[in-house]
Structure formats: structure tokens, C-alpha cells
Amino acid sequence: MIKWLGLGLGLWAAVDCSAEASSPAPQTQGTHTTSGSGGSGGTGSGLPLAGSLATGTAGTPTTTGTAGATTTGTAGATTTGTAGATGAGGGGALAACPAPPAAGAIADLLIDDLEDKDNGVARVGSRTGYWYTYLDALGSMITPKPDATGTAPLLPGSTMCHGGMACIMISGTTAAADEVAKKYPYAGVGFDFSNAKKPCVYNASAYAGIKFWARGDVPITIKLNTTATAKADGGGTCTGDLCNGGFSPAGADVVLTAAWQQIDINFATAAPPAWAAALAMHPDKANLVSLQVQVPPGQTFSIALDDFTFY
């Protein structure tokens, strides 16, 4: 699903650029794909360019058997995670959003180190989300392409990663902004913390923040989305012009370089962008929905992301 999005950059600071967040991940139910390496090469800054998947057919069952086969007698449980969380698109990890929302314990720090080379976040802390790319309808491009059908899941690449053999890699271009028409193109990548064919609320009260590693050649807009900032199709309850502003370190963009750098989203200090200052000062960690890394307008980009953890 492609949706309009104005960016939370000081350069684009106008209430009219209401920054609707990325589309939620594909709605197709599938299985948690473990085959395929994807991503090849690198040019210019030495960053890997996201590419086609190298091996495996999306949706091929894992070595533990058909999703839904049980090892303990509990319906839908598998040895590799929740049934339905595998395969193309990875949508529908749960039959319904948990009530109360899924919550993580303090020991469940890993979000995803990508080393399993599948399209889902690590199945710890009751997390059941998965990775996806998204972009506007204004001429921007991203590789791997968004998967609205559930047939081509976003899988990690394996070139020049941080501390391991797998990382998320994206590349492409974003179209130029049109200030007169108030159009602000974008492209990005992200994951839901919990998913049941739609983004679900996730309770991260046990944690103080999120850290991950990134490298690239452009500024990025980090968007930690909560129920208060996401619209209904993104798992939230927000309505109006300030929806989907998200939260990021200091409320500002992060400038990537060719060297890996660690990015810290501290819940106590993360802030919305200046154009959405009327939102809460800091994210409500008990009501997280998704985390997204987005590229501003007018950029040619190659980005790698790795080692996402709570702390």
C-alpha cells in the first residue's frame, strides 16, 4: 500500500506536509522465509547495493516442517516461531492482535541481528513483526521493491555487514520535493514490532530505548511510530495533520557516512520532528507500533542497517 508522506525535516517544516507514515507491511499471510541471501556488490562509497534474492523461493517451508505443525501440541506453534510468520511477506504472524498488547521482558533485548537471514524480526519478547520496504507514488525508487502481494519478502543481504554475515540493504532514489504543491517524496524500510495481518500495538515498557547500526551516504529520518502518531492502517489511532510524525534522536535527521555508526533512540529523550511539535514530547514506550528508516526527497542512496536491540 502506498501512502503520502511529508517528512519531518526542518527544511520541509510546514504543517501542510503532514508526514503520513509509510504504508503498513503487506497483508498477505505467509511463512517465515529462511532461504535466500540477496544483495550484491557496492559502488562509490563502498556500500552494498540491495539486489535480487540469490536463493530460495519465497514461501518455501522451513526445515522444521509446514507452518502450523506443532512440537508441543499447541495449535500453530513451531520450533522456529509463530505459525504463519514464515514465507512471502511474512504477514499474519498472529491470528489477531494480542489483548492486552504483547510485551517484552527485560532479558529479551534482541530485536533482530539479521543473522537468520529471514524476513522476520527475532521471535523473542513476544515480537512477531517483519521487514518491508515502502515508497511514494511520486517517482521515487527503492530496491528491494515493496511487496504488496506477499510473494517477494524483504530478505537480508550479506555484503559488508556489521559484526556478522547479514544486514538489511536498500538502495534507490527519491524524487525532488515540490514546495509549491507541498509534495515531499520518500522511500524507506521498516518493521512492525507485532503483527497480525496488520500492525499491532507492542508494550516496550521494560526497556529504556533502542539501538542499531547504520551506514550510508545520505541523511535518514528515523521514525519510531506509536499509536498516538500512526493512523489506523498503521496500527494507531491518530487522525489529523500531525499523524505519523514518529520519534527520533533529538527529533532530527541522522546523517549517515560510509563508516558504521550506532544510532541511539532513547525513549526519555527521543522527540518528534519540529513540524509535529504539538505531539507528545517523547514516545509512549508502552504503545509502540513500528520502526522505520526513511530517505528524504532528492537523494540517491545506498544504506545498510544491522543489529537492532532494546536496552
What are the per-10-residue average pLDDT scores of the chain (311 residues)? Answer: 34 36 40 33 36 37 39 33 33 82 97 96 96 96 92 93 96 97 96 95 98 97 96 92 91 97 98 92 97 97 98 98
Strand partners, 42: 48
Put simply, whether the predicted model's pTM sits higher than 0.95 gets the answer no
CA neighbor of 225 nearest in space, from 167, 270, 168, 277: 270
pLDDT value, residue 150: 80
CB burial of 87-100 (b: ≥16 within 10 Å; e: otherwise) equals bbbbbbbbeebbee
- The 3-state DSSP class for residue 136 equals coil
Please list, in sequence order, all residues whose beta carbon lies within 8 angstroms of the beta carbon of residue 104, skipping any fewer than 6 positions away: 124, 125, 126, 127, 202, 203, 204, 206, 207, 310
The CATH H-level (homologous superfamily) assignment of domain 1-59+81-311 is Galactose-binding lectin (2.60.120.430)
In the DSSP assignment, the letter for residue 177 is P
Strand partners, 141: 173
Strand partners, 288: 202, 226
Q: Cell digits for 86?
A: 514464515
pLDDT value, residue 92: 54
pLDDT value, residue 204: 98
pLDDT value, residue 62: 37
pLDDT value, residue 46: 37
Residue type, 106: I
Report in angstroms the alpha-carbon separations of 201 from 98, 173, 240, 292: 8, 31, 20, 15
The secondary structure of the chain in percent helix, strand, coil, rounded to multiples of 5, reads 5, 30, 65
What dihedral do alpha carbons 244, 245, 250, 255 form, nearest 10°? 90
Q: Cell digits for 34?
A: 529462511
pLDDT value, residue 213: 98
